Amino acid sequence: MSMDNLILLTGRTISQGVALEGGKVSRENVRAAGICTFDADDFKKLDCIVGTPVKVITDYGEVVVYSTITEEGPHPGIIFVPMGPWANQLVNPSSQGCGTPNYKGIQAKVEVVKNGKVLDALELIGQLKEA
């Protein structure tokens, strides 16, 4: 199953900050930042269960992350990926001269990944070096 025409937002979260206390390469960090949150009604359209890996795709890249339902909302048509190496795969690398990429309002598509693996930060970065 997949969903098109979603708007991706990224930002910092409290649980991400707590997980970083254990280190950027910890499993807790993957569970806190290697995720994509969905509006509850949008999530039903994916026809999967919470925690199922999904591939988030933008014009700038793609990444496999765990799926979850937002506790805020409703925000139909909007998905959220916490800032970090996973979100960095999805944003425009150009900063348009200001030094910071645009982390909000990015057109995205999501696909359920049947046997997908969410990479930890080191695996993700290692994969980029190989490309």
pLDDT at 104 > cutoff 70: yes
Q: What is the pLDDT of residue 74?
A: 82
Q: What is the pLDDT of residue 15?
A: 66
Residue 122: closest CA among 28, 26, 53, 32: 26
Sign of CA dihedral 21, 25, 26, 27: positive
pLDDT at 21 > cutoff 60: no
Q: Which residues are registered as beta bridge partners of 9?
A: 80
Whole-prediction pTM: 0.85
Half-sphere exposure of 93 (CA within 13 A, CB side): 4
Q: What is the pLDDT of residues 67-86, one digit of tens each?
A: 999 988 789 999 999 988 89
Higher pLDDT, 61 or 74: 61
Q: Does domain 2-130 have CATH number 2.50.20.10?
A: no
Band of residue 57 on the pLDDT scale cut at 50, 70, 90: very high
